[in-house]
Amino acid sequence: MTEKWLKWAVQLQSIAQAGLTYGADKYDLDRYEKIRSLSIEILHEYTDIDNKKLRELFASETGYQTPKVDIRASVISEGRILMVKEKEDRRWSLPGGWADVNTSVSESVARECFEEAGAVVIPRRIIAIHYANRRNNLNFPYSVYKIFVECDLSEINFIENTETLEAAFFEPDSLPNLSLNRNTADQIKMCFDAKEQKLFETIFD
């Protein structure tokens, strides 16, 4: 669950960003900039991130604020699911990451599988679109939509890269230490359930 202070900081940032984008009066723009600065102060108070870094990560966007899109691949072969060990926290996740601009969902998930696991996959269907702030252990200053895509595996040959340490397959009852901001045990169970059901209904929210 998202901490209340983080929800408030995100909401203040969203109001400020919209006001700075669409506002015209110079006094209103000044007020919106102060609201944005206040949101940064709130985050700085509750995290170890300095103000300069927060402004770069959290308050540098322009335009109407919309959710980020995180795409995760469900690649199940012989009853086991493909996971990668993240360099960032040395925990395990489904291959995936932020969607790139000018790239479709299927292109993004195929790219992430190849870059993080050395896996060549064929995307088949969307299993779920989750509002991750309600389902994952997130401490991000923005909203996240997490899209789970079922993929068929063509081949795999792990390649050393900057994001992951290794790739491996796991059975549903022997999952490794999970990177919970990326995926939970319930979300991985959902992927196994979808694999077993040809008419699995897409889950959202």
Residue 178: what pLDDT? 98
Domain-by-domain residue ranges, the chain?
4-58, 68-204
- What pLDDT score does 137 carry? 85
Give the dihedral of Cα atoms 139, 144, 148, 154; nearest 10 deg: -80
Neighbours of 127 (CB within 10 A): 22
pLDDT at 114 over 70: yes
pTM of the model: 0.80
Please say whether the beta carbons of 76 and 152 come within 8 A.
no
CA distance 193 to 186: 10
Confidence category of residue 57, pLDDT binned at 50, 70, 90: low
CATH architecture of 68-204: Alpha-Beta Complex (3.90)
Do 115 and 188 touch, CB atoms closer than 8 A? no
pLDDT digits (tens, 9 = 90+) for 4-30: 888 888 888 889 888 988 898 988 999
Per-residue confidence (pLDDT) for residue 1, from 0 to 100: 47
List, for residues 75-101, the tens digit of each pLDDT value.
999 999 999 999 999 999 999 999 988
CA distance 68 to 129: 12
CA 138/CA 76 separation, integer angstroms: 26
Q: Is the pLDDT of residue 47 over 90?
A: no
